[in-house]
Amino acid sequence: MILTDPDEKPSILVVEDDEQLQTALSHTLGGHGYAVAVVSDGYEGMDWLEHHGACLVLADINLPGKSGLDMLRDIRLAGNQVPVVVMSAYASVESAVQALKLGASEFLEKPFPAEKLEEVIARIKGGEPVLKPNCSTKIDDESEFVGFITRNERVQQTLKTLETVAVSQATILIQGESGTGKEVLARFVHRHSPRVNQPFVAVNCAALPEGLLESELFGYEKGAFTGALARRCGKFELAHQGTLLLDEIGEMTLALQAKLLRVLQEREVDRLGSRTPVKVDVRVIATTNRNLIQEVQAGRFREDVYYRLSVMPVTIPPLRERPEDIEVLVEHFAHQSFQRNCRVSAGITAEAMSYLKTRRWRGNVRELENVIERAVLLSGTGSLHMEHFAVEEPVMTSPTPSLQPTGSIWEMERDLIFRVLDQHGGNRTHAARTLGISIRTLRNKLREYRQLNGGVSLDV
């Protein structure tokens, strides 16, 4: 963490994982008399805000741990109205809309010159946010968590069962392809449980390397390892009396699974570096897009942990197995999107609806939601027509020709990486998995493209 004048106000919190940009931003902002705190992901960012506060947050969307958008959502859900400027190098209509929807003050597409940043800050200081539409951007819990929309009988049956099970402390395992609504279902359980007014804490087990995930989950004492400057509570403790969502549990290493088993059995956690266990009362919900039984058979997932987690196993079918859900989801997302853009609901043509019903939805409900959002933006003031759905995948700008290494394999790889990133809404963890490469490799490649593209043009 780079820090200048920690006690000085006003302070700006920069949430950015790119070291070059971290330095550039703290330079620019520091030069303008701000105290600057720099952290590299949303978890650290939330931690910082909780303990020190800030007068402005500048957050990248694509981060190794909690994304800038997830952080923004948590900030607003906590009732914190601090202005948040969101930055992204892979600006898509979806990510800008999402940022706006979550209450961002501004959206900055990287790379941007220092003056642009100064302009934005001046505007926010003057109380003149640009992205704000006429209607309120405040997150409304009710509209954010509408419940699990479905007309599918099998899923409706599952919802009924879950409502009953929600009152207990039983661990629930939710399986389903990416984008099928696993997190929505987890929140559904929390909302129907007696824990509804207690925290709902989510941890993405795929986003962090083993050591970090361990300290994230279990916390640590001051001095437990180099860099542990102060005691920190883990997510189990933070979720005390509430619900802990262990997202993408299939990615957890066997060693960590052993530690998880102990918590699930004993209901107490050992902070790293501590000898005194802490009792926790937590309802655990785990999700996975892998087939965990197969993972057990392949020796990649512990059988005992599997049985502990799957006290109540639930599988959400992919959208192609519940076509009757498409119409109701389209209507729901269209309605939401019209509202968000301060427009009268203009409906959708029969032709467009039948196209959506027959289209392949590899990204399941998440893809459908994005397609509708884009169509609403493209439709101007009228209803949604076929033409608003016939959009090519966005083409990313190529590096400057003179700097571009020749060789089609390099180009194909780069194009593929950008396309997959885009399909995952800029989520590097998911994109890396789809591409079959490590997140580190992905980050290195993106850095390489950025450098070839002239690098970050912050002139400091």
Applying CB under 6 A, which residues contact ligand ATP? 146, 148-150, 176, 178-184, 289, 365-366, 369
Q: Please, which residues have CB within 8 angstroms of residue 58's CB and are 6 or more apart in sequence?
A: 12, 13, 14, 15, 16, 25, 84, 85, 87, 117
CB of residue 188 vs ligand ATP: minimum separation in angstroms?
A: 9
Taking the C-alpha atoms of residue 225 and residue 107, their distance in angstroms, rounded to an integer, is 37
Q: Which does 426 bind (CB under 5 to 8 A by kind): Mg ion, ligand ATP, none?
A: none
CB of residue 251 vs Mg ion: minimum separation in angstroms?
A: 12
Query: Is 33 exposed, middle or buried, given 0-12, 13-18 or 19+ CB atoms closer than 10 A?
Result: exposed
324-340 vs 350-358: helix axis angle to the nearest 10?
120
Closest among 63, 72, 10 to 207, alpha carbons compared: 63
Which one, 11 or 204, has the nearer CB to ligand ATP? 204
Taking the C-alpha atoms of residue 417 and residue 405, their distance in angstroms, rounded to an integer, is 16
Which of these ranges, 118-126, 182-190, 191-199, 301-309, lies near Mg ion under the rule CB under 5 A?
182-190
Taking the C-alpha atoms of residue 148 and residue 12, their distance in angstroms, rounded to an integer, is 38
Helices (H), 63-130: 68-77, 93-101, 114-125
CA distances from 448 to 113, 160, 171, 420, 434 (A): 20, 50, 43, 17, 20
Q: Which does 55 bind (CB under 5 to 8 A by kind): Mg ion, ligand ATP, none?
A: none
Residue 290, interface with Mg ion (CB under 5 A)? no
Residue 47, interface with Mg ion (CB under 5 A)? no
Residue 183, interface with Mg ion (CB under 5 A)? yes
Which one, 182 or 232, has the nearer CB to Mg ion? 182
Which one, 34 or 43, has the nearer CB to ligand ATP? 43
Q: Which does 180 bind (CB under 5 to 8 A by kind): ligand ATP, Mg ion, none?
A: ligand ATP
Query: Is 414 exposed, middle or buried, given 0-12, 13-18 or 19+ CB atoms closer than 10 A?
Result: buried
Which one, 205 or 282, has the nearer CB to Mg ion? 205
CB of residue 271 vs ligand ATP: minimum separation in angstroms?
A: 28
CB of residue 336 vs ligand ATP: minimum separation in angstroms?
A: 9
Q: Which does 11 bind (CB under 5 to 8 A by kind): Mg ion, ligand ATP, none?
A: none
Closest among 22, 57, 27 to 38, alpha carbons compared: 22
Q: Could you count the other beta carbons within 10 Å of the beta carbon of residue 220? A: 21
Q: Please, which residues have CB within 8 angstroms of residue 40's CB and are 6 or more apart in sequence?
A: 15, 16, 17, 22, 63, 64, 65
Which one, 183 or 413, has the nearer CB to Mg ion? 183
Q: Which does 423 bind (CB under 5 to 8 A by kind): ligand ATP, Mg ion, none?
A: none
Taking the C-alpha atoms of residue 406 and residue 390, their distance in angstroms, rounded to an integer, is 32
- φ and ψ at residue 46, rounded to 5 degrees: -65, -40
CB of residue 247 vs Mg ion: minimum separation in angstroms?
A: 5
Which one, 146 or 390, has the nearer CB to ligand ATP? 146
Half-sphere exposure of residue 419, counting CA atoms within 13 Å on the CB side?
10
Query: Is 135 exposed, middle or buried, given 0-12, 13-18 or 19+ CB atoms closer than 10 A?
Result: exposed
CA distances from 13 to 35, 37, 125, 131 (A): 9, 5, 15, 20
CB of residue 178 vs Mg ion: minimum separation in angstroms?
A: 7
Which of these ranges, 37-45, 90-98, 180-188, 379-387, lies near Mg ion under the rule CB under 5 A?
180-188
CB of residue 287 vs Mg ion: minimum separation in angstroms?
A: 6
Residue 184, interface with Mg ion (CB under 5 A)? no
Residue 448, interface with Mg ion (CB under 5 A)? no
Q: Which does 255 bind (CB under 5 to 8 A by kind): ligand ATP, Mg ion, none?
A: none
CB of residue 180 vs ligand ATP: minimum separation in angstroms?
A: 4
Token pair recorded at residue 319: 């959208």
Tokens 């954010």 found at = 144
Q: Which does 450 bind (CB under 5 to 8 A by kind): ligand ATP, Mg ion, none?
A: none
Taking the C-alpha atoms of residue 299 and residue 3, their distance in angstroms, rounded to an integer, is 44
- φ and ψ at residue 33, rounded to 5 degrees: 85, 15
Which one, 176 or 399, has the nearer CB to ligand ATP? 176
Interface with Mg ion: number of residues (CB under 5 A): 1
Which one, 124 or 365, has the nearer CB to ligand ATP? 365
Which one, 215 or 427, has the nearer CB to Mg ion? 427
Which of these ranges, 37-45, 69-77, 176-184, 275-283, lies near Mg ion under the rule CB under 5 A?
176-184
CA distances from 164 to 77, 142, 193, 194, 284 (A): 27, 21, 9, 11, 16
Closest among 339, 386, 322, 368 to 134, alpha carbons compared: 339
Q: Which does 137 bind (CB under 5 to 8 A by kind): Mg ion, ligand ATP, none?
A: none
Which one, 295 or 369, has the nearer CB to ligand ATP? 369
Q: Which does 366 bind (CB under 5 to 8 A by kind): Mg ion, ligand ATP, none?
A: ligand ATP
CB of residue 32 vs ligand ATP: minimum separation in angstroms?
A: 37
CB of residue 367 vs ligand ATP: minimum separation in angstroms?
A: 9
List of residues contacting Mg ion (CB under 5 A): 183
